[in-house]
Amino acid sequence: MKTQVAIIGAGPSGLLLGQLLQRQGIDNIIVERRSGDYVLSRIRAGVLEQGMVDLLREAGVDQRMDEEGLPHDGFELVFDNRRVRVPLDKLTGGSKVMVYGQTEVTRDLMAAREAVGATTLYEADNVQPHSLESEHPYLTFEHNGETIRLDCDYIAGCDGYHGVSRQSIPQDRLKEFEKVYPFGWLGMLSDTPPVSDELIYASHERGFSLCSMRSATRSRYYLQVPLDEKVEDWSDERFWDELKRRLPDDVADKLVTGPSIEKSIAPLRSFVVEPMQHGRLFLVGDAAHIVPPTGAKGLNLAASDVNTLYRLMVKVYQEGRTDLIERYSATCLKRIWKAERFSWWMTSMLHNFSEEEDFNSRMQLAELDYVTSSQAGLTTIAENYVGLPYEPLE
Ligand SMILES: Cc1cc2nc3c(=O)[nH]c(=O)nc-3n(C[C@H](O)[C@H](O)[C@H](O)COP(=O)(O)OP(=O)(O)OC[C@H]3O[C@@H](n4cnc5c(N)ncnc54)[C@H](O)[C@@H]3O)c2cc1C
C-alpha cells in the first residue's frame, strides 16, 4: 500500500489531521489499533477552545457541533464558600469556548471521513514505523490476518501517550519532562440536567470538584480522589453525597441526581517530550504531551499540533517548502509549554494537597482571592482558558 501521509491512531488528532489533509487533496491512510466502536466508547474531554472550533469548521465538521454544542462565555470558581464568575467574553474581547464532547467530535470526524471514502484501517495489530530518517519511511502492521507494508512520505504519530510512535524514536534523541500529581479524578457521567448553565470549578478542604456537562440533559461531574482509590468503591449514592459536600449549599440544593452511565478514575500528570519529531515522523497530541485536565487543555493542545502539522504539510505539498519541516517541534512546543503552565497552575491552586490546613493551603486561598479580585488576574485566567493564539510556522 502507498499513501502520502501515514497516520497512526484514529483519536481526535489522527481523524482531524486526516480530514484536513484530505480536503487539501493530500492522500492519507489512518491505521488504528482498536475498533471504531471502542474508540467511540471512550468518555473524555468536552470543552473546545475557539481555535479548535475554527479548525473543525475548516475540516467541514461543524454542523452538529453548531446544532448541539453549547457556547459558554463564562465559568465559575468556587472557594472559601464564595462563587466568582470568570466572564470569558468580556475579558478577552469576545472569545468563548464550546462545550461539545470529544466522543461527538470523534463521531463527526469518522462520519466525514467515511463520506469522502478515505481509508481507516481499524484493529491493526503490531503497527511499527520504519526508516524514519530516510526519504522513504514506511509502516508495517497486521490487518485481517495479513502483514501489510504501507509506504509513505511522512508519518504522523497520533497514537496517544501509550502509542508506538514516541517509543520508536531512539531514547538518546528525546528528553522527557514529567510531573505526577498525588491524586486522580473520579469522573461520573449521568443523564441528569447540569446543576448550572456554566462549569463550576470548586476548591474545598475535602478536595477539588468540577461540575461540567455534555448537553442540556447530560452532566459530567468529577471529584479529586487519592491515587489508590477504586472505582468499585464508589456507588452512585456515595459519589453524589461527596459532591454535595464539596459544593456551596445553594449549588448542592439544586443538584439533580440519578443513575450513572459511566464512572472512571484518571490519574493526573504533566508530561512533555522534546523534540516532537524525528526524521519524517511527527508526534501529535497525547503522543507528545499530557496535561492534568484542570485547564481543559488536553484535546485542545492536540488540535493546535494538528493545526501546525496540517499547515506544514500543505506548504510542503503545494509549495515545496520542505525547509519548514524542521520548525514543527519548536512551533508546537512554544504553545504547549504555556498550556502546560496553565494546567499545572490551575491544578496547584484548586486541589487539596494535604489533609491538614498548612502553609500551602493558605497560599492557595490567598492566590484565589488575589486573582479573582484583580482584573489582571481574571484576565490571565480567561485568556488562557479560551486558548492562546496558534503559533505561526514562519
Ligand atoms: C480518561 C481521560 C480523561 C480525559 N479528560 C479530559 C478532559 O476532561 N479535558 C481535556 O481537555 N482532556 C481530557 N483528556 C485528554 C484528551 O482526551 C486527550 O488529550 C485527547 O484524547 C488526545 O487525542 P489524541 O488523538 O492525541 O490521543 P488519543 O485520544 O489517545 O488517541 C490515540 C489513538 O491512537 C490509538 N493507538 C494507540 N496506540 C496505537 C498503536 N500502537 N497503533 C495504532 N493505534 C494506536 C488509540 O487506540 C487511540 O485511538 C482525557 C484523557 C483521558 C485518558
Per-residue model confidence as pLDDT tens digits over 285-333: 999 999 999 999 999 999 999 999 999 999 999 999 999 999 999 999 9
For residue 11, how far is its CA from the centre of ligand 1 (angstroms)? 6
Query: What nine digits make up the cell of 26?
Result: 493530500
- Name the average pLDDT for the chain: 97
Distance of CA 194 to the CA centre of its chain: 22
Given this model, what pLDDT does residue 42 score? 86
Q: What angle do CA 292, 71, 112 make, to 5 degrees?
A: 80
Q: What is the pTM of this model?
A: 0.96
CB of 160 closer than 6 angstroms to any ligand 1 atom:
yes
Residue given cell 481543559 in the structure block: 296
Ligand 1 centroid – CA 46 distance (Å): 13
Instruction: Give the CATH H-level superfamily of domain 5-70+99-177+268-352.
Output: FAD/NAD(P)-binding domain (3.50.50.60)
Q: Which tens digits make up the pLDDT trace of 268-295?
A: 999 999 999 999 999 999 999 999 999 9
CB–CB of 217/193 below 8 Å?
yes
- Residues 6 or more apart whose Cβ sits within 8 Å of residue 320: none
Catalytic residue status for 385: yes
Residue with CA nearest ligand 1 atom 31: 11
Q: Using a pLDDT cut of 70, give the percent of the chain over it.
A: 100
Per DSSP, 89 falls in state H
Closest Cα partner for 259 from 241, 244, 237, 242?
A: 237
CB-based contacts of 123, cutoff 8 Å, min separation 6: 32, 33, 34, 35, 143
User: Do strands 119-121 and 28-31 pair parallel, antiparallel, or not at all (unpaired)?
Assistant: parallel
Mutate to test the pocket of ligand 1, among 7, 33, 44 (most ligand atoms within 8 A of CB): 44
Task: Give the list of residues 6+ apart from residue 124 with CB closer than 8 angstroms, or none.
Answer: 31, 32, 33, 141, 142, 143, 148
For residue 293 and ligand 1, the question of a CB distance below 6 A is answered with yes
